[in-house]
Amino acid sequence: MATAFKQIEDEAIEAARSIAYSMPIEDIDMTDSARFVDNTHWAFFERLRKEAPVHYCANGRFGPFWSVTRYKDIMAVDTNHAVFSSEAHLGGITAKDQDDDFILPMFIAMDQPKHDMQRKAVSPIVAPANLAVLEVLIRERAQKIFDNLPINEPFDWVDRVSIELTTQMLATLFDFPWEDRRKLTYWSDVTTIDVSAPDAKMTRDEQRAILIECLTYFTGLWNQRVNAPPAGDLISMMVHNPSMRDMQPMEYLGNLVLLIVGGNDTTRNSITGGLLFLNENPGEYQKLREDHSLIESMVPEIIRYQTPLAHMRRTALQDTILGGQHIKKGDRVVMWYVSGNRDETEIENADAFIIDRARPRQHLSFGFGIHRCVGNRLAEMQLKIVWEEILKRWPMIEVIETPVRVQSAFVKGYERMMVRIPG
Amino acid sequence: MPRVTFVEPSGTEHQVEIANGYSVMEGALNNSIRGIDGDCGGNCACGTCHVYVAAEWRERTGTQSEMEHDMLEFAEGVRADSRLCCQIEMSDELDGLVVHIADSQH
């Protein structure tokens, strides 16, 4: 029963395969978020990897762009920051350019040397000593969340577990007013809404107005912290750091949304994805039940298999050759992590979810090079605790219907996933 | 085959053989040395094979490349003798090499 919904999804994926292989290859536009809502992007990426691994799309939704879909080529772009820029003013790090009249500078969308200085200002938050402190806190909270879940009745795993847990974490990292913490979730979601999609939930102006509300709220916190002695939270770290204390408001907002989305959306969707994959792969769930020590290797496998951010984008600073293709200065280059993570030439049996892989951390989900995810070990720790606490309580949590996916070619995640804990 | 000694932060030593042409990181992974992760597979792109090279070996192991330096910018506990050991290739000249594993890799 639990996997009946998977059959329906598999049929849709197969139906998409014939479209993927029959349409003119130059017409394939992977920035079309519709392929991510219905989870039918797989065959398109598979074809690109085989036939046009560095692929030019002249009429993309957000303008012309290159798709890089193989693991090795993605690694080559990600590690060549001298040629492939992340700079916000050149478009930034998503397939969609930042809007010229609403540029949000943030360290992920900066090149050296400023990127390095700002990143170093906040990275102590995930230093080993601090992770050890956070581990205790995360476990207590996870226990509380799990102890209050309903038994034998359907509920939304995304809302009750994935969002709640990651939002509590984020509130702690910012030392954010506890009762207002769901604002963080809201701002995170609003930031990544694809407002140009046909049936988008809000307009661009509404989105901007909400982000300005976010800035106003956080400016209040900035003013509090600036008058207080330096503390261990992210805002205090920024306030008291020479490379960040003089940021303009939009740069403060930019770095805030970076930390909010980076610390929230990604882990949230991996917490949801993990439970989904185990339901889709009962044999793996059984292996896990029999040997809880497999959590260690399962966690990175979940992160690979989910790939919570489908892509990162760069802009070429000079003419260059990649995979035999001539990339021109100024070209938009999109690295599809979601595709590279399924590249059979680099990862054995890449389409399968296997919780005891020998080298599970060999995946692209965190990116590589100087922009590699600063919170990767925190993310892994959160997932590890989630699964340790789940397995202490229940041998099985059933996903009972097809999850609702996010309409975005950037954030690859879930809006809702109904589950039931058998009692 | 040339030998390398890995010293854990606790002081525990592990001596392993690594064939010429392989990196010290690969040697660590093949011998399940704790504390060397090597997430990127040797592309100098993740900073999770951070070691300290004893002074007497530094001339023979060479020095940090530009990319290596950039990645080490974000590593924990970086010192003048820090290296990413995926960038140290084994050769007979390095027989007896001693590297100290950094406290944490991330």
Q: Do B44 and A374 touch (CB under 8 A)?
A: no
Q: Does A377 touch chain B (CB under 8 A)?
A: yes
pLDDT at residue A266, as a whole number: 92
Q: Pick from A81, A128, A359: which is nearest to B103 by CB?
A: A128
**Per-residue pLDDT tens for A387-397?**
999 999 999 99
pLDDT at residue B104, as a whole number: 82
Q: What is the mean pLDDT of residues B28-46?
A: 94
Neighbours of A141 (CB within 10 A): 17
pLDDT at residue A5, as a whole number: 78
pLDDT at residue A81, as a whole number: 97
**Distance from B18 to chain A by nearest Cα, in Å?**
19
- Residue A298 burial (C-beta neighbours within 10 Å; 0-12, 13-18, 19+): buried
Q: Which residues of A touch B70 (CB under 8 A)?
A: 81, 112, 116, 370
Residue B31 confidence class, pLDDT cut points 50, 70, 90? very high
**Per-residue pLDDT tens for A13-25?**
889 999 999 999 9
- With an 8 Å Cβ cutoff, the interface of chain B facing chain A consists of 29, 37, 39-41, 43-47, 67, 70-71, 73-74, 76, 103-104, 106
Q: Pick from A79, A128, A376: which is nearest to B76 by CB?
A: A128
Residue A197 pLDDT more than 90?
A: no
**Distance from B87 to chain A by nearest Cα, in Å?**
14
**Domain topology for A2-420:** Cytochrome p450 (1.10.630)
Using left for φ > 0, alpha for ψ between -120 and 50, and beta otherwise, residue B96 falls in left
**Per-residue pLDDT tens for A402-412?**
999 999 999 99
Computed over every residue of chain A, the mean pLDDT equals 95
pLDDT at residue B106, as a whole number: 75
Using CA atoms, how far residue B33 sits from A41, A298, B16, in Å, is 39, 20, 9
Residue A2 pLDDT more than 80?
A: no
Q: Which residues of A touch B67 (CB under 8 A)?
A: 79
Residue A264 pLDDT more than 90?
A: no
| Global pTM value | 0.96
Spacing of C-alpha A80 from chain mean position: 22
pLDDT at residue A233, as a whole number: 94
Q: Do A368 and B46 touch (CB under 8 A)?
A: yes
Q: Does A9 touch chain B (CB under 8 A)?
A: no
Residue A206 pLDDT more than 80?
A: yes
Q: What is the mean pLDDT of residues A209-217?
A: 98
**Per-residue pLDDT tens for A238-256?**
999 999 999 999 999 999 9
Q: Does A374 touch chain B (CB under 8 A)?
A: yes
Q: Do A128 and B106 touch (CB under 8 A)?
A: yes
Neighbours of A38 (CB within 10 A): 15
Residue A12 pLDDT more than 90?
A: no
Q: Does A110 touch chain B (CB under 8 A)?
A: no
Q: What is the mean pLDDT of residues A168-192?
A: 95
Q: Do B71 and A370 touch (CB under 8 A)?
A: yes
Residue A220 pLDDT more than 70?
A: yes
Q: What is the mean pLDDT of residues B3-29?
A: 97
**Distance from B74 to chain A by nearest Cα, in Å?**
7
B26 → chain A, closest CA residue: A359
ipTM confidence:
0.92
A377 → chain B, closest CA residue: B106
pLDDT at residue B1, as a whole number: 92
Cα–Cα distance measured from residue B19 to residue A238, given in angstroms and rounded to the nearest whole number:
47
Q: Which residues of B touch A335 (CB under 8 A)?
A: none
Residue A1 pLDDT more than 70?
A: no
Out of A59-63, A315-319, B53-57, B90-94, least confident range: B53-57
pLDDT at residue A249, as a whole number: 96
pLDDT at residue A13, as a whole number: 87
B32 → chain A, closest CA residue: A358
With residues binned 3-state (H G I as helix, E B as strand, rest as coil), the percentages for chain A, rounded to 5, are 50, 10, 40
How is chain A split into domains, by residue range?
A: 2-420
Contacts of residue A207, defined as CB under 8 A and 6 or more positions apart, other chains included, come to: A190, A191, A193, A195
Question: Are the beta carbons of A375 and A259 closer than 8 angstroms?
Answer: no
pLDDT at residue A250, as a whole number: 97
* DSSP code, position A406: P
Computed over every residue of chain B, the mean pLDDT equals 94
**Alpha helix (H) residue ranges in A163-232:** 164-174, 182-192, 204-226
Report the DSSP pairing between strands A332-336 and A65-68: parallel
Question: Are the beta carbons of A381 and A134 closer than 8 angstroms?
Answer: yes
**Per-residue pLDDT tens for A91-105?**
999 999 999 999 999
Q: Pick from A78, A79, A120: which is nearest to B74 by CB?
A: A120
Q: Does A79 touch chain B (CB under 8 A)?
A: yes
